[in-house]
Chains A and B, each alone.
Chain A
Amino acid sequence: MTIQPDSLAGTASATGVHGFEVFSNEAVADGVWRMRCHTPVASLIAPGQFVNVAVPGDSAHILRIPLSFSVAQATSQTLELVYAVVGEGTRRLSCMRVGDTSTMVGPCGNGWALPTHEGRALLVAGGVGLPPIVACARMLAEASVGFDVIVGAQTSAKHVEYLLDELRRLAPDEGCDCARKVLVCTDDGTLGTRGFTTDVMADLIADRPYAQAYTCGPTPMMAGVARLCAKRDIACQASLERMMGCGFGACSCCNVALVAGGYALCCKDGPVFDAREVVW
């Protein structure tokens, strides 16, 4: 399947600059934070799209921070962002307090597309790639598409457990023949089985047929998922991450090398790509 922008759920709303107000911002694990905010973007954004957030109070760091979301509630205009504190920008973001306001550019990019063929979907998330996979799971559940989820992490962490609860809630039909599975693995075995998501995936796809895979996480993991999917002829959408300038296709800084030659832009053509079109 070639992902055409017109076929994607996430292209309906034009990108704009919107205000947001923080109503909670807390650490949910070592180095991982969850921010909930009120913003009109919540009613515009589709699963897999992202926002580019301005953190106030530091004129030395000028770029916005691109973040994917796990939950968007249109009625209450609330957006939930789970992010790892990895640099100065995300450190400052973690310092935003209840009532603080700023702006975000969004919705940005093209999000997850529903499967174009009948059949079950497989979601594979690694580490901080988990939030957009949660948004994907909700999209599939609402569309009554059957799916299983594999979640990998380095070690047991509260943010993984917290989002796992959300995934299990979205996969309530355990016990029946077509039970949805939420499988967890960690590098050190402290949660779920010990091993890599691709090991778990290899066993699972030998057992069950899948029409579509969705993946987000570290690049080596997504490359492994893409390889397994290619072998079994399973369509695969991957959400990529890049250092970004603008977030809406103006600066050409977030290039993604394509198998067909040349580059696409992660912010405008992605962040969700057909895994077969990307050079891993």
Chain B
Amino acid sequence: MSKDAGPRMAVNLGGITMRNPVNTASGTFGNGEQFEGFYDVGSTLGAITCKGVSAIPWEGNPAPRLAELGGAAILNSVGLQNPGVAGFVGRYGEYLQGLRRKGCAVICQVAGHSLEEYARAMELFEELAPFASGFEINISCPNIAAGGAAMGATPAAAAEVMRTVRPLTTRPIVVKMAPHDVAEIGRALEAEGADALSLINTIPGMSIDVRTRRSRVCRPTAGVSGPAIHAIAVRMVWECARAVKVPICGIGGITCGEDAAEMILAGATAISVGTANLVDPACAARVVEELEQWACDQGVTDINELIGAFEC
């Protein structure tokens, strides 16, 4: 390391090499391309996590899909609208390959309604997506009628998804977890060969328009995200990190370097910026800079020294 160099920021998320710990939460970053007008994604971020993709195209939920909750949180029910693996690769494959060339890891998210659908999507990704650095299995989407969160509701159910997809790829598998029982479910996933865990997904919530007595989004329950859930997410990352040995990507209400640093101290190896991408499109790039400044201020030569360095 030259004398002018800052701290080493590279991390390894279960075999996914990242130039810095900053990733993006699936569903809040399009597939990266939409952010090129704001900054050079490939030269800046450690990784991006693409929007969830299923074996065949899904329409997603009807409108309205979004409500502002007023307590630094939003409620969404998009329902994993996606063009299917083949459509996704055709539309974004070249762009994502370009991100890899620039040194940004590309994590493709796998969605399904059933074990068979997860397996089919995984097989298609394995065949069609050589640009994927690794995969994130979404067993925690609160906004689809079948599969989604139900697939990750118990340690046994989560383990079964992992057993289904693990033999289908040698590339790293991250599992996106729901915001409950994270220690127990995390251990079950680790035992079945998950390379890393990412948490938390949105917290199930409701918002009722009291005049019309209807939900403010298209389904009775939907996912809450935003700064309001940050403290809950940090706690869950801490609980999970103490229970497993595999690395964790911390997600939930991150808007700045300090929020990201909290996640790292709680035990996260990497972090994802989510809802803040929508409000401040350059947020993830700013978090990269602020996180490096924090590591510098902490006087470490390597950010890895700060993972789980929370003193209780």
Residues on A facing B (Cβ under 8 Å)? 14-17, 54, 59-64, 88-89, 105, 242-246, 248-257, 261-263, 268
Contacts and interface: CB of A to CB of B under 8 A. Distances in A.
Given A252-B81, A255-B63, A62 B226 contact: yes
A59 to B, nearest CB: 6
Interface in B56-72: 57, 59-68, 70-72
Contacts of B74: 62-63, 245
Given A59-B227, A62-B74, A255-B60, A250 B65 contact: no
Interface centre among A246, A257, A263 (most CB of B within 10 A): A246
Contact of A254 (B66, B67, B71): B66
Given A17-B282, A61-B68, 11 more contacts: A60-B70, A60-B71, A62-B73, A62-B74, A62-B227, A242-B63, A243-B65, A243-B66, A250-B277, A253-B78, A263-B59
B309 interface: no
Given A60-B71, A88-B70, A245-B74, A255 B278 contact: no
The range of chain B's interface size is: 35 or more
Interface string B277-294: 111111000000000000
A263 B29 CA distance: 19
**Main SS of the interface on chain B?**
loop
B99 to A, nearest CB: 15
**Main SS of the interface on chain A?**
loop
Interface centre among B30, B59, B281 (most CB of A within 10 A): B281
A242 B275 CA distance: 18
Interface string B20-59: 0000000111100011011000000000000100000101
Contact of A253 (B76, B227, B277): B76
B76 A63 contact: no
14 contacts: A14-B37, A54-B280, A62-B74, A63-B74, A243-B64, A243-B67, A245-B76, A246-B281, A248-B34, A248-B37, A251-B66, A251-B78, A253-B76, A257-B63
Contact of B66 (A60, A61, A244, A268): A244
